[in-house]
Structure 1
């Protein structure tokens, strides 16, 4: 057990990144509107995330390079290289800046559930200062341990909230493994998959694993870490759907309304656990989003720098400041988020295809390249990401 804990970290940070306030809100809405029937979408998301993140981590450990660096090396055309870098950089940096506001707002909602709304205007600044402090330390181990601690708090909060609703186990298992498509649920299904299979996590994971592991023999630890953390993270998302399923007929506008809806049944117990959970979900994502953007910029521009380098810090600081400003001034970044969704929809299948291409190259991974079974599973997942990307782009343009 001690040995396992010693070799955990990057996978937990990936789980921390995809369980943000947006995930909490979307899972809440899914549970309230459709009960257990969309749990299968989370099961599918978990499998897809494990497969894609394992490939990304494998590239990071074997090559000891970031994902963008490897992609740049394998594209021989200078024009295609520049187009690819521009696409990746714009989508990741602009997209993360847009979602950072949602992460900070979500963490602020968690604090307001615990302490009230009287000082709400200060909460985004407090979240920003905490995130800044952890990022500025520039010590991977401190950052890793802090996020692992917050993820544990978040997980306990949401899992306990689900347990106190006394779920129907047989119906829950049916929902997890038998796909169903209730009327009007298509966009919710797309959203549940899209909020779990996150493009910037692929870049983040490849960069983080090489901070922790330097030897090819460490692949076994990376795989365990990836599998356990992401499956557990998926169960946390499922627990939010399960808890929300107990609230049929309750009007839900955001994640914190889940706590309000449970108050008549469970008193303040659920309210406080939801508040702590939403705070932890917001702050973990508020740290990982700027960090991922900085790693992508580092690879795109070929910076050979560490976490304490000024250029690296400037990138994550820009993302963090934009998030705090949008959240503090209550500027609704809907138009920016629409762009981020379009970029996300385009980027995910492209990066997934790049991943599949690279993990089949003997010149990159040698004997650690994909086998036939891995390629079949990866191909199916990439087909799903292409459909997901196409539909998410259509969804945004339908709203314009």
Structure 2
């Protein structure tokens, strides 16, 4: 009589566990695991918070007191919404944002996006070169032009390294954290009128402040930086299941931190310079804002902060411009492609050449250069808004109605400031 195998107790063949669905919602991550998601938005924030922000914020506080704090608050909200759109686009686009724009809206639209970002990065390169040279000259002495040359060469060497994105990302997260501590400290030491600062959140446009307001919008509501977030997100290979955690750990703090720092610079400038009626027309004058930190030490810390902001912004700015123009030309969306490296070098060379040619009034040069970026921003803003509403591309990450409302307000605001800037410059 043969033995009968009991099917209920017989061992069953091992089966591999089912692969997790990348779009399946996950439980909230522990705090330490959320820290691992920090990165792309801080890169964008560090790019956004460069010499242009520092210069225009100090001028706003010293010339108009606390009146223009509202510009930073509104710009930060709009920047946050557009950065969030770009994060979702970075998750959903199969290859890159500009490549997806070509596929969904036509090749000309992709060309406009790439060339538009390239033009904006050219304008930012001027402020970065000027700011880095002036900041380093205050720390070490010597001519600012010489330090601008050395800083540009240093950035070029950094961008030639392998895996530069991961190195730059870690560096910029640390820089933003350290600058936040310094600016918060300086604000409390300066003892500003916090009631007046709060009242500055009420919109008001002082006479003669149009160009400065446009510059503040251009440096804080930085569409080109928001656009680049999609590339940073893809670099980190973010998934739809991580979207909520990324928003909490990276997007919100990475964009809000530069906004708070910019507002604090205005507040400190209003408290220190506004009380005496001075206007910050030179970098030395700007350094006085940070003297409450400890006399000459405060000025030194400001110079180091200016240099660090300029250097980090220069790295991200040149990399982004080279990467996205290379993508628009069909040469690949990687910063390591030959085309991207050539374009990156051209951006750095433009900033340095412009700095060498126009040395008479560097602070005004930074303000004008940054405000000109607003002329290209409406095109990029429209592309982000349209692409984040493409159902076939975005799926469940498509814009919600409230995001479209805020996005439309941002687009109207950037168009209005562009028109105002054009009429101001032509008058």
TM-score normalized by the length of structure 1: 0.89
Aligned to 2:162: 138
Match of 1:158 among 156, 162, 183: 183
Q: Secondary structure of the residue that 1:303 maps to in structure 2?
A: coil
Match of 1:327 in 2: 355
Find out whether 1:279 has 2:307 as its counterpart. yes
**Are 1:111 and 2:139 an aligned pair?**
no
How far did 1:264 drift? Answer: 8.9
Structure 2 counterpart of 1:181: 205
Alpha-carbon distance between aligned partners in 2 of 1:276 and 1:216, rounded to the nearest angstrom = 39
Contact 2:110 2:328 in 1 (8 A): yes
Change (3 A) 1:160 1:311: same
Q: CA deviation at 1:90?
A: 3.5
Q: Does 1:240 align with 2:265?
A: yes
Give the drift of 1:91. Answer: 3.2
Q: C-alpha offsets along residues 274-319 of structure 1, whole Å, 9 cap, x if unaligned?
A: 1111111111111111111112112202233633332222211221
Q: Give the 5 Å matches for 1:299-338.
A: 299-304=327-332, 306-328=334-356
TM-score (norm 2): 0.84
Q: Contact 1:107–1:283 at 8 Å: present in 2 too?
A: yes
In 2, Cα distance between the equivalents of 1:132 and 1:151?
Answer: 22
1:16 Cα shift?
A: 0.8
> Once superposed, what is the RMSD of the aligned Cα atoms?
2.5
Query: Residues of 1 paired with 2:341 and 2:210: CA distance?
Result: 40
- Residue 192 of structure 1 is matched in structure 2 by 216
CA deviation map 1:117-140 (0-9, x unaligned): x24343112212331232222312
Q: Does 1:383 align with 2:412?
A: yes
Asked whether the 8 Å contact 2:215–2:370 carries over to 1, the reply is: no
2-structure distance, mates of 1:367, 1:7: 21
CA distance in 2, matches of 1:93, 1:245: 35
Q: Compared with structure 1, are the counterparts of its residues 231 and 340 closer, same or farther at alpha carbon in structure 2 (3 Å cutoff)?
A: closer
> Which deviates the most, 323-332 or 358-367?
323-332
Q: Is the 8 A contact 1:65 1:207 kept in 2?
A: no
The 10-residue stretch of structure 1 (322-331 or 207-216) with the greater mean CA deviation from structure 2: 322-331
Could you give the per-residue CA deviations for residues 340-389 of structure 1, whole angstroms, max 9, x where no partner exists?
855x3342222222222222221110111111222222222221122122
Which has a greater percent of helix?
1
| Cα contact 1:107–1:282 (8 A) shared by 2 | yes
Matched, 1:7 2:32: no
Runs of 5+ unmatched residues, structure 2: 1-30
Q: Unpaired runs of 5+ in structure 1?
A: none
Change (3 A) 1:90 1:214: closer
Deviation at 1:339, TM superposition (A): 8.4
1:124 aligned onto 2:148: yes
Q: SS state of the match for residue 37, structure 1? A: coil
